């Protein structure tokens, strides 16, 4: 038995703050007053957000869960799925729920970087150049079919995804906070597409696979859609807007302050590191994967309503975090194995935290 928690806790009461038990490495010292109640409210908000989203997007529980994870962890999401599964609907519903701005860019082969970030235009009346901000200045950015645009346009997103700013005419301009990119791509049509470069892929915190809904859910979905006034999609108008962008920033802050045990941190790092030496993988995940695992774990813990991160939180988002950061060994690729299969084997072999 390891002697990890030598510090005694002042009280055995569950409701009392347990901050002193948090190891110093896990989180910064939070104000001792009522972080727990704050956390509880945050959890309730997050769960209410999930409830609202489920109203809009029927089925797809896992996807909603993962998108909320990325939202709380401040990461970006790449969604892969065949058309018509409600990717755009999900983003619109999300923007509506937290009262944020929403912009959509349809990526096409002739889209230019300036169409994404913005550019300077000459104003004849005032006889000077005026900066015209692109659609990237928003809270939620839907990059639809991101792999239809060539690499130079895809690269226009690199800066804004990592630094949350856009450099226009030499001036760095910050994008509104919170900022989140949801990109979609279609897994079947590969004709005339440009695969995302590794640097771009690595900036997405999660890559989600959207699959067809289950039979019962689809029945429910069709019933609701056909009842709606719009032609063939669910409406997002009836959704309540639960929180303001400001509140979402607070939620992100609370999530990042959730206590994390050293062992759990070690588990996350071991998971990411094991991909580098795994025989079935030609290319392993980088340090961004470890970071994303930990952030994802914290966000999931908040969504779960927990006060701390447990190994299940890490393991739950490991597949989505690692999926796009590894490359399958050619022999397994030829055998017809998918990345997900190999990664689940890996998750099955890496030992859970030891105490």
Partner 1 sequence: MRLTDATVVIRPRSQWEAMDLGIRLARRHAGLLMASWAIITLPLLGLLSALLWSYPSIAVLIFWLLKPAYERLPLYILSQALFGHTPSLSASLRALPGLLKPQLLASLTWRRLSMTRSFDLPVLQLEGLAGQARSQRLVVLGQKGTAGATWLTLVGVHVEMALLFGLFALLYLMLPMQVEIDWSWESLINPDSHQWLWLEHLSNLLYGLLLVIWGPVYAACGFTLYLNRRSELEAWDIELVLRRLRQRVTGSAYALLLLAGLLLSQWPAPALADDMPVQCQPEQLAADHPDAPRLQLQHLDSDSARYAIAGLLAEPPFEHTEQVTRWRLGDPQELDEERIKAWAERLKALFDWWERSSGLALVVESLLWGLCLGLLVWLAWRYRQWLQAFGSRLRLPRRSPAEVPPSQLFGLEVSPQSLPQDIPGAVLALWTEQPRAALSLLYRALLSHLLHERQLPLKASHTEGEVLALVQRQQHEPLSQFCQQLTTHWLQLAYGHRLPPADSCQALCAQWRQLFTTEPRP
Candidate segments 145-153, 183-191, 237-245, 260-268, binder of partner 1 by CB under 8 A: 260-268
Candidate segments 9-17, 138-146, 176-184, 225-233, binder of partner 1 by CB under 8 A: 9-17
Task: Identify residues 67-106 at the interface with partner 1 (CB under 8 A).
Answer: none
The pair of three-digit structure tokens given for residue 146, joined into one six-digit string? 């991101």
Tell me the backbone φ, ψ of residue 215, rounded to 5 degrees. Answer: -55, -45
β strands within 147-195, DSSP E: 165-168, 171-174, 180-185
With binding defined as CB under 8 A, does residue 245 bind partner 1?
A: no
With binding defined as CB under 8 A, does residue 345 bind partner 1?
A: yes
With binding defined as CB under 8 A, does residue 354 bind partner 1?
A: yes
Torsion-angle region of residue 45: left (phi > 0), alpha (psi -120 to 50) or beta? alpha
Size of the site for partner 1 (CB under 8 A): 38
| Residue 304, SS3 per DSSP | helix
Give dist(CA 286, CA 271) in Å, integer.
11
Residue from the set 13, 110, 127, 191 that interacts with partner 1 by CB under 8 A: 13
Residue from the set 264, 272, 294, 322 that interacts with partner 1 by CB under 8 A: 264
Helix ranges (H only) for the chain are: 35-56, 61-73, 87-97, 113-117, 151-163, 198-203, 215-227, 245-256, 262-277, 287-304, 311-322, 330-335, 339-349
Q: What is the DSSP letter of 122?
A: E
Shortest Å, Cβ 2 to partner 1: 8
Give dist(CA 167, CA 174) in Å, integer.
9
CB 226 within 8 A of CB 270: no
Shortest Å, Cβ 251 to partner 1: 20
Which of 18/143 has CB closer to partner 1? 18
C-alpha triplet 137, 153, 339: angle, nearest 5°: 100
Task: Identify residues 265-294 at the interface with partner 1 (CB under 8 A).
Answer: 278-280
Give dist(CA 76, CA 70) in Å, integer.
6
With binding defined as CB under 8 A, does residue 32 bind partner 1?
A: no
With binding defined as CB under 8 A, does residue 261 bind partner 1?
A: yes
With binding defined as CB under 8 A, does residue 309 bind partner 1?
A: yes
Give dist(CA 43, CA 133) in Å, integer.
35
Q: Which residue, 226, 77, 237, is CA-closest to 142?
A: 77
With binding defined as CB under 8 A, does residue 259 bind partner 1?
A: yes
With binding defined as CB under 8 A, does residue 14 bind partner 1?
A: yes
With binding defined as CB under 8 A, does residue 302 bind partner 1?
A: no
With binding defined as CB under 8 A, does residue 113 bind partner 1?
A: no
Say if residue 121 is exposed, middle or buried (CB neighbours under 10 Å; 0-12, 13-18, 19+): exposed
Which of 142/299 has CB closer to partner 1? 299
Handedness of CA 55, 58, 62, 67 (dihedral sign): negative
With binding defined as CB under 8 A, does residue 250 bind partner 1?
A: no
With binding defined as CB under 8 A, does residue 308 bind partner 1?
A: yes
Shortest Å, Cβ 21 to partner 1: 3
Task: Identify residues 317-336 at the interface with partner 1 (CB under 8 A).
Answer: none
Candidate segments 128-136, 180-188, 244-252, 311-319, binder of partner 1 by CB under 8 A: 311-319
Residue from the set 211, 217, 247, 307 that interacts with partner 1 by CB under 8 A: 307
Which of 13/232 has CB closer to partner 1? 13
Positions in the binding site for partner 1 (CB under 8 A)? 1-2, 5, 7, 9, 12-14, 18, 21-23, 259, 261, 263-264, 278-280, 306-312, 315, 345-355
């Amino acid at each position: 038995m390891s002697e990890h928690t030598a510090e005694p806790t002042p009280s055995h009461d569950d409701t009392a703050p347990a901050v002193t038990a948090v190891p110093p490495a896990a989180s910064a010292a939070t104000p001792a007053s009522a972080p727990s109640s704050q956390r509880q409210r945050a959890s309730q908000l997050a769960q209410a957000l999930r409830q609202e989203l489920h109203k809009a997007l029927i089925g797809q529980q896992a996807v909603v869960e993962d998108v909320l994870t990325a939202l709380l962890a401040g990461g970006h999401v790449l969604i892969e799925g065949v058309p018509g599964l409600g990717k755009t609907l999900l983003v619109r519903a999300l923007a509506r729920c937290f009262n944020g701005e929403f912009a959509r860019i349809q990526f096409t082969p002739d889209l230019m970087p300036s169409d994404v970030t913005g550019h300077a235009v000459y104003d004849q009346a005032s006889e000077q150049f005026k900066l015209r901000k692109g659609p990237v200045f928003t809270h939620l950015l839907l990059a639809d079919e991101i792999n239809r645009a060539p690499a130079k346009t895809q690269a226009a997103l690199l800066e804004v995804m990592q630094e949350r700013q856009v450099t226009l005419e030499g001036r760095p301009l910050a994008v509104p906070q919170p900022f989140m990119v949801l990109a979609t791509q279609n897994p079947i049509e590969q004709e005339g597409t440009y695969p995302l470069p590794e640097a771009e892929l690595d900036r997405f915190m999660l890559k989600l696979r959207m699959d067809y809904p289950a039979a019962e859910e689809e029945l429910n979905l069709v019933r609701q859609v056909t009842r709606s006034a719009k032609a063939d999609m669910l409406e997002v108008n009836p959704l309540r807007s639960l929180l303001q962008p400001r509140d979402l920033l607070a939620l992100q802050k609370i999530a990042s302050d959730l206590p994390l045990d050293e062992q759990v941190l070690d588990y996350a790092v071991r998971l990411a590191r094991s991909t580098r030496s795994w025989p079935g993988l030609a290319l392993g995940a980088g340090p961004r994967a470890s970071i994303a695992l930990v952030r994802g774990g914290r966000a999931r813990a908040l969504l779960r309503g927990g006060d701390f991160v447990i190994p299940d939180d890490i393991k739950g988002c490991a597949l989505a975090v690692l999926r796009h950061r590894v490359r399958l060994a050619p022999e397994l690729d030829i055998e017809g194995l998918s990345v997900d299969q190999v990664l689940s084997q890996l998750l099955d072999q890496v030992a859970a935290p030891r105490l």
